[in-house]
Amino acid sequence: MNLPEVIVAIMIAVLVASIVRTRIRHQGDRGVEPAPTAEMTQLRREVDQLKERLAVLERITVERENSLARQIDDLKSQ
């Protein structure tokens, strides 16, 4: 074998090794959800609470915008 053939063979071996290593590393990640820990449960509760608070704030904002628009319309009509 001459030098270019050796270099190509080494490159192919490295490529195949990296593909195999990547597949092995990601094989356990497919469709397996880790068991919920106490921290995950607490974070999910906090996210739910924040979603509720956001919904309340959105409702308040929309109500105030509508009431302000009504007040402006009332002043215009007077």
Q: What is the pLDDT of residue 58?
A: 85
Q: What is the pLDDT of residue 32?
A: 63
How far is the C-alpha of 14 from the C-alpha of 29, rounded, in Å? 24
Q: How many degrees, rounded to 5, is the angle at CA 46 between CA 41 and CA 52?
A: 130
H helices within the chain, ranges in order?
Answer: 3-27, 38-77
Tens digit of pLDDT for each residue in 59-73? 877 776 677 777 788
The answer to pTM > 0.75 is no
In sequence order, what are the residues at sequence separation of 6 or more whose Cβ sits closer than 8 angstroms to the Cβ of residue 71? none
Query: Residue 30 has which token pair?
Result: 């497919």
